[in-house]
């Protein structure tokens, strides 16, 4: 199985940005933890983060073109308004799980809506950086036909 871990704007600031909301782990910490888990299960992971919407669209398209098995996607603030990212996810057959470190549904009203979730196979929100591993486990379960 080959998965892309895709991160949107400001996630490069994990560990520094509002640690009371997003925690103390850095994006490198999250990636390292996932790499260790994947290595033991013979899963290939690719990681990509960008603050640029178009670069994320390109990565989503590329995932389809190279035949990845899934995308774990934290779109950051683009969650709430990026029709371009929503349409990119809708344009591919690769399954996407949207994740959020904080619980977007219990935050400010403008953060409670996701334009991307309706075209994803699921959404994980509010479990901190463990949400990445939960999404990873969900893909493993899908691979087993569960």
Q: Which domains does the chain have, with CATH numbers?
A: 2-143 (3.40.50.9100)
**Residue 144 has what pLDDT?**
66
Q: Does residue 66 carry a pLDDT above 90?
A: yes
Q: Does residue 146 carry a pLDDT above 70?
A: no
How large is the average pLDDT for residues 80-100? 97
Strand order in the sheet with 2-7: 44-49, 2-7, 70-74, 96-100, 122-125
Q: Which is more confident, 9 or 18?
A: 9
93 forms bridges with which residues in the sheet?
Answer: none
Which of 100, 105, 132, 136 is flagged as catalytic?
A: 100
Regarding pTM above 0.75, the answer is yes
**Residue 105 has what pLDDT?**
84
22 in catalytic set: yes
């Amino acid at each position: 199985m080959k998965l892309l871990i895709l991160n949107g704007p400001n996630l490069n600031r994990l560990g520094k940005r509002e640690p009371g909301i997003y925690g103390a782990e850095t994006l490198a910490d999250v990636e390292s933890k996932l790499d260790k888990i994947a290595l033991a299960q013979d899963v290939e992971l690719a990681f990509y983060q960008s603050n640029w919407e178009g670069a994320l669209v390109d990565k989503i398209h590329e995932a389809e073109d190279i035949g990845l098995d899934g995308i774990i996607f934290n779109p950051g603030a683009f969650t709430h308004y990026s029709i371009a990212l929503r349409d990119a996810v809708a344009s591919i057959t690769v399954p996407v799980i949207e994740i959020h470190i904080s619980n977007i549904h219990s935050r400010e009203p403008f953060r409670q809506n996701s334009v991307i979730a309706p075209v994803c196979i699921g959404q994980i929100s509010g479990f901190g950086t463990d949400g990445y591993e939960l999404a990873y486990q969900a893909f493993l379960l899908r691979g087993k036909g569960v």
